[in-house]
Amino acid sequence: MTGTDPAHRSERRATSSAAAAAGAQIQRRRRQRGMSQAELARRTGLSKATLSQLEAGAGNPTIDTLDAIAVALSIPLTDLLTRDAAPETLHLPATAPNDEGPTRELLRRISGGHSLELWRLRLPAHTSIDGVPHAPGTVEHLLVASGRLDAGPADDPRSLSTGDLLAFAGDAPHSYRTGDVPADVTVVIASPAIG
Amino acid sequence: MTGTDPAHRSERRATSSAAAAAGAQIQRRRRQRGMSQAELARRTGLSKATLSQLEAGAGNPTIDTLDAIAVALSIPLTDLLTRDAAPETLHLPATAPNDEGPTRELLRRISGGHSLELWRLRLPAHTSIDGVPHAPGTVEHLLVASGRLDAGPADDPRSLSTGDLLAFAGDAPHSYRTGDVPADVTVVIASPAIG
DNA sequence: ACGATTCGTTCGTTATATTGAACGTATGGT
DNA sequence: ACCATACGTTCAATATAACGAACGAATCGT
C-alpha cells in the first residue's frame, strides 16, 4: 500500500478509549441481565470471540456490531457509549421568593455531552416507590413543584419540600416517599456520553 | 458480523439503519461547519474515500472511525448515532392527576450530547421579561410549577398553566409574561455541546 | 481561453474486524 | 469418580473497512 503512514497505523491499532468504554458497558449490561457471553453471541449472531475481545477492551467494533449488541440487550445504541461519572448528592433548599421583581436562579449546570429525560412524578400522600437504576453515571435531579417527600439514594435519603432541588446518582437504588401530604415532582435525568 | 445470516451476507452493500443515520449525521454536522469532505479527511486522518462512502450511507464504520470524526467535528460521539430531534415548539398540557397511586410521566427525551442548565424562574404578577437567545440548537424547556404565564418564541407564544411543559428553540428571541397571577417555573436549557 | 485547484466519487489494494474451531476451566448430573 | 455441558479465551482463516490513487466536474485566477 504505497505510502501508508506508519504512525497512523499504530494509532488505529491501539485500544481507543471509546472502544474500551464501550467494552466495559457491554459487559456491565450483559451481566446486569444475567446473560453469558455465549448467550449474547447467540442472540446477536456475533461470535463468542468477538464479544470476548470487545469486553476485554481490545477491539474496535463496527457500528453494525454495536447495534446488534444494543438490540440484543434491548437498549438504545447510544447507551453503549455512556461513560461512568462520579455524581454526588446535592441538596439545594428552596430560597425565599423575592417580593419585588422576577428572580432567575441558576440551580445547576452540567457541562459535556448528555442525553436528557424530563419526567413528572405525582405522588399521593403516604406513598413509596423505588426508582429504577439508570445507566452508570446518570444523574437524577428532583425539583419539588409542590408538597413534601423524602427522596434520594437508598443509603442517603433527604427530606424535601416545595422548591427544593436534589441531585444524586441515578445508577444506584433510590426511592421516593411521601408522608402526610402528596408531592408533585419534576425529574430531570441526565446521562453522560462520550465526547 | 452477520455471519449467521446468509440474507445479509449476499447483499454486500446493504446499509444498516444505524450506519445510514450516522452517515446523515456526519454530513449534516460537517456542512453546518462549512467543512468539505476533503478538509474533514485531513482533520480526522481518514481518507476522503471513507468519508464519501460513509456519508452516502454505504458504510459500516468502526467506533474508532466515528470517534475520530466526532473529535474533528467537536461533538460528542453519541451525536453521530442519533437522529435529529425535532426543534419544534412542543406544548404538553398538564394531565389530570391520578387519584389512586403515583404517576410517572415521561415528558420529553433528548438524545445526544448536551450541556445542561437548570433554572428556577419566579415571576410576580404582571411581569414581562425577555429571554436571552442562546447558542444555535439550544432547546429550552419550561415546566410550570405553579401559576400561569404566556411564554415561548416571540413569534409563537403559548398560554401555560400549572403543570404544563413547553419546549421551544432557545436560539430565537423569546419571552415570559405573567398576567393576574404570579408564576413559578423550572427552566431546563439543553445546549448542544460544542468544543 | 487556459491551466491550476479543489471538490466528491470510484477503483483495486491493504489492513484489520470478525469468524469458526480448538483449548482449558468450571459446574452439574448420574 | 466419570462424562457431558457450558463458559470465556486464543489463534489461523476469512470477510470487509479503510486505504491511496486516479477520475470527471466545478471553481478560480491569470
Cα distances (Å, whole numbers) of residue A193 to A22, B14, B34, B159, B192: 11, 28, 25, 35, 12
Cα distances (Å, whole numbers) of residue A19 to A109, A110, A139, B62, B188: 28, 24, 23, 9, 32
pTM, two decimals, is 0.61
Q: Cβ of residue A104 near strand C, that is under 7 Å? A: no
In total, chain B counts a number of residues equal to 195
Per-residue pLDDT, A136: 66
Work out the percent of chain A whose per-residue pLDDT is above 90. 21
CA–CA gap between residue B141 and residue B152 (Å, rounded): 9
Give the residue carrying C-alpha cell 405525582: A122
Q: Is A41 helix (H, G, I), strand (E, B) or coil?
A: helix
Alpha helices in A91-177 (DSSP H): none
- Selected for mutation to probe chain A from B44, B62, B132 (highest A CB count within 10 Å) is B62
Nearest-CA distance B43 → chain A (Å): 13
Q: Is B5 helix (H, G, I), strand (E, B) or coil?
A: coil
Per-residue pLDDT, A123: 84
Size of interface A-B (CB pairs under 8 A): 229
**Chain D bases near protein Cβ (<7 Å):** 6-12, 15-22
> In this predicted model, what pLDDT tens digit does every residue of B159-190 receive, in sequence order?
888 888 888 888 778 889 988 998 888 888 88
> In this predicted model, what pLDDT tens digit does every residue of B13-52 receive, in sequence order?
446 678 998 998 899 888 878 889 999 999 999 999 999 9
Q: Cβ of residue B116 near strand C, that is under 7 Å? A: no
User: Is the pLDDT confidence value at B158 over 80?
Assistant: yes
Per-residue pLDDT, A168: 86
Work out the percent of chain A whose per-residue pLDDT is above 70. 71
User: Is the pLDDT confidence value at B110 over 60?
Assistant: yes
In total, chain A counts a number of residues equal to 195
> In this predicted model, what pLDDT tens digit does every residue of A150-178 receive, in sequence order?
998 888 888 888 888 888 888 788 889 99
| B114 interaction partners in chain A (CB closer than 8 Å) | 113-116
Q: Is A90 helix (H, G, I), strand (E, B) or coil?
A: strand
Chain CA centroid to CA A52, Å: 24
Pairing of strands B174-177, B139-153: antiparallel
Lowest mean pLDDT among B6-10, B111-115, B127-131, B166-170: B6-10
Mean pLDDT taken over chain B:
77
CA–CA gap between residue B168 and residue B172 (Å, rounded): 9
Helix (H) or strand (E) holding B42: helix B37-44
Q: Burial level of A159, CB count in 10 A (0-12/13-18/19+)? A: middle
